[in-house]
Amino acid sequence: MTSPPGGPDRTAGPAGPAEQPTERSAERPAVVARRVGQDVTRQVGRHVTTAARRQGWRARTSAWLLLPVAGLPWVGFGYIAWKGRRPAWAGAAALHLGVSAGAVTALLSGEWWTVLGVLAAGGGWGAGVVHGLSANPRWLRLQAERAPSPSAPWLPPLAGPAGADGSGAGARRLSGPGAPTDPAERAALGQQEAAAALEVAVRAGTALPPAALPLVRQVHDAALPLLARGAGRGAPLPALDLYEVETVVGEHLPAALAQYLVLPPGYPPPSGAADAPSPAESLLAQLRSLVELLAEVTERVHEHDARQLRVQATFLGDKVRRSDLEL
């Protein structure tokens, strides 16, 4: 046999193995692009949702401006003076009331006083609207400062000692006076607290670090089955393990979220200590510790279950052997 011109073709070989790496290499960019697209979609969705909630809070809090637009600026300023405890706004309400009363009196006097009354009423209405628009930014800042989460004032308050005021008034807790003693009731309350913390993290949106929400979900998902077992659904949970789970969902998780959200946006200032961890790093460290703690509790519970299973198997085996001897 003669070889083809140029010598034997040493590069020829099975086509399949040579093509597989190429196909895998071609698939990897597609997978990466798809994952990047999913991440971008989630981030955009979070930003849009957060912006919508922020604008909704601003619209609700600024609803008092409808009163100056309706020609009742003294009522609007009286309302924000009462809610904000600001004497200056009370003085503005009295001034606008005086202007409106003077305009009405002039309109009722007739003759040339009517023209003066119309001018006073129109000028008073315009001044009330402009004054309201200029006072509204300060009113929004005041309401945000008094909210449980100044960096995200549209969030609901966290109940119990983890709340902004730390009082926990009106909220039933897993510990302290009035705590339930029934296991099923305690488990239901613990599940509610875990769900409430997750809702706060979801609604916070971009007010929390991007990695915070997945960690809160991990804490929530790990705590629910353990709390269900504490309620008597399934094998009983050791008392110490149940106490640790209740402490995580009832105290540590709400406290970590509340302490971070109570900080103003952009904290710490540029003059802060360079070697100190940022609030975001501290929050993520706490959340990771909670995830690790629940993972340890889950592992201990599984080891306890496996040990109980071995004990039961040994007991049944001994019982069967004794029965055979008796026969």
- Which of 32-46, 73-87, 224-238 is the least confident region? 32-46
The span from the CA of 259 to the CA of 327, in Å, is 70
**Between residues 268 and 107, the one the model is more confident about:** 107
C-alpha angle with apex 96: 93 to 102, nearest 5 degrees? 140
The span from the CA of 297 to the CA of 242, in Å, is 9
Domain boundaries, the chain: 63-146, 160-263+278-322
What does the pLDDT read at residue 168?
41
Instruction: Tally Cβ neighbours within 10 Å of residue 148.
Output: 18
What does the pLDDT read at residue 18?
45
Q: Which residue has the tokens 């353990």?
A: 226
pLDDT band per the 50, 70, 90 thresholds, residue 312? confident
Q: What is the pTM of this model?
A: 0.50
What does the pLDDT read at residue 67?
93
Q: At what angle do helices 183-204 and 239-247 cross, to 10 degrees?
A: 30
* 301-326 mean pLDDT: 76
pLDDT band per the 50, 70, 90 thresholds, residue 19? very low
Residue 28 has pLDDT above 60, yes or no: yes
Each residue's pLDDT tens digit, 150-191: 555 655 555 443 343 333 433 455 555 566 666 677 777 888
- Kindly list the distances between the CA atom of residue 254 and the CA atoms of 124, 144, 211, 224, 247, in Å, as whole numbers in the listed order: 48, 20, 17, 16, 10
Residue 218 has pLDDT above 80, yes or no: yes
The span from the CA of 74 to the CA of 94, in Å, is 7
